[in-house]
Each structure stands twice: as C-alpha cells, then as structure tokens.
C-alpha cells in the first residue's frame, strides 16, 4: 500500500494508453514520455506497460506501508527518501514506513515512478491510464490527492531477486544504473511552425 501524503502539482496513474477507441471519442492518452516510463518499468523487471505514477513540475510525497522496490526516470527532480537522495535510473529499496518526496523539478518537467508489480488500479478499456476529461481510468479517474491509498501488483521474479540482493547486501540501490546518454539529451531550442486549424480559438 502507498499512501499519498502530498500529491504535488499533477500526479496521475499512467501506462501506455488505450489505443483503438478514437472512433468513440476516447483519446489514446497514457504517459507523456512512453520511453522514460518503459525504462523505469524495465529497470525493476516489470512489464513495460505496467502502470506508473506520472508527476509534473512538483512531485508527490508518498509513504510506503510495506517494503517495495521502485525506480524513477525523467526530469531532474530533487527526489529524496527520508533525508537521503533518491537515485534516478536505478532500482531502489524502500523500507516499510518510509516516505519518498520528489520536490521541484530543477530541469525538465515530468518524472515517472515505477513500483515493482506496477500500480494496481482497475483496467478501463484495456488501460490503467488516467483520462481526466472523461473521468475514467487511473485512481477514480482523477489526479491523486492527499490521503489516497494505492496498491501495487505482485512483484515479478526479477524484482524479487533485486530486492532480496539489496536486502542481503544492506544496500539502498543497485550499483548499476541506466547510463544517462542512453536516455538522450536536452533538445536544442528551435522554431516550431504552426498552422491555424479548427482548434485555434
């Protein structure tokens, strides 16, 4: 169980979205950066489509009620676990009762937090993604608020091995990490050309 202490500016449950329903007016949606979301999941041994928490600009404070394995990717947030830094792009052990806090994004805008087993919310049209305009998916179809409680699915075999090895070694995080250059670099600012369409007004 994960308890939301502070939700941050905009924290939602997201996965790879719900393709195939545009003809009914349902957008694909999903994580804004599917690559970063997939990387966070794969670090833990989750399926790459497992649901994660997507945070924007100001991150959430989350208390873990049971020992868990997490990984986060994305913008450069001031992420902490208690008083310690919460390393990015690697698997990290969170003990029962500990709180992780994401603070503000120092550069970039969004981050994705994966939990071993994925965030367990009901499937709606084949996806766990929050679609705010329609009020479906995610946790009650809306961004998280203080006091929300989230469950995670059953961790996979790889997650179990990583967690056990960290516990035995008395380590917080894995020594290996996803090298930053594999995630790409900042895009150089440039001109984006647009055309006036029906949504202009």
Is 75 within the bounds of a domain? yes
14 and 50 Cβ atoms separated by less than 8 Å: no
What is residue 194's predicted lDDT score, i.e. its pLDDT? 83
Q: What is the mean pLDDT of residues 168-193?
A: 77
Taking all residues of the chain, what is their mean pLDDT, rounded to a whole number?
92
Q: What is the largest CA-CA distance in the chain?
A: 60
pLDDT bucket at 195, cuts 50 / 70 / 90: confident
Q: For residues 125 and 114, what is the distance between their CA atoms, to the nearest angstrom?
A: 22
What is residue 185's predicted lDDT score, i.e. its pLDDT? 61
Is 194 within the bounds of a domain? no
Do you know the residue count of the chain? 201
Is 201 within the bounds of a domain? no
pLDDT above 70 for 182: no
Is 190 within the bounds of a domain? no
Is 123 within the bounds of a domain? yes
Give the residue with greater pLDDT, 16 vs 183: 16
pLDDT bucket at 186, cuts 50 / 70 / 90: low
Is 191 within the bounds of a domain? no
Q: For residues 166 and 94, what is the distance between their CA atoms, to the nearest angstrom?
A: 10
Q: What is the mean pLDDT of residues 181-188?
A: 63
- 37-55 pLDDT per residue, tens: 999 999 999 999 999 999 9
What is the SS3 string spanning 165-196?
Answer: HHHHHCCCECCCCCCHHHHCCCCCCCCCCCCC
Q: Which domain holds residue 44?
A: 2-183
pLDDT bucket at 193, cuts 50 / 70 / 90: confident
- 112-152 pLDDT per residue, tens: 999 999 999 999 999 999 999 999 999 999 999 999 999 99
Is 49 within the bounds of a domain? yes
Is 91 within the bounds of a domain? yes
What is the number of structural domains in the chain?
Answer: 1
What is residue 180's predicted lDDT score, i.e. its pLDDT? 60
């Amino acid at each position: 169980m994960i308890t939301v202490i502070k939700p941050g500016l905009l924290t939602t449950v997201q996965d790879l979205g719900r393709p195939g329903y545009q003809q009914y007016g349902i957008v694909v949606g999903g994580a804004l950066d599917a690559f970063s979301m997939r990387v966070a999941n794969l670090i833990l041994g989750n399926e790459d489509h497992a649901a994660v928490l997507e945070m924007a600009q100001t991150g959430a404070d989350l208390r873990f009620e049971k020992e868990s394995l997490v990984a986060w990717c994305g913008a450069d947030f001031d992420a902490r676990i208690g008083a310690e830094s919460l390393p990015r792009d690697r698997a990290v052990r969170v003990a029962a009762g500990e709180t992780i806090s994401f603070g503000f994004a120092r550069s970039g805008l969004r981050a994705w937090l994966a939990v071993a087993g994925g965030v367990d919310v009901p499937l709606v049209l084949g996806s766990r993604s929050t679609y705010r305009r329609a009020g479906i998916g995610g946790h009650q179809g809306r961004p998280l608020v203080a006091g929300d409680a989230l469950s995670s699915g059953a961790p996979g075999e790889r997650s179990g091995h990583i967690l056990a090895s960290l516990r035995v070694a008395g380590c917080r995080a894995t020594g290996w990490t996803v090298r930053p250059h594999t995630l790409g670099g900042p895009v150089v600012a440039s001109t984006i050309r647009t055309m006036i369409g029906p949504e202009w007004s």
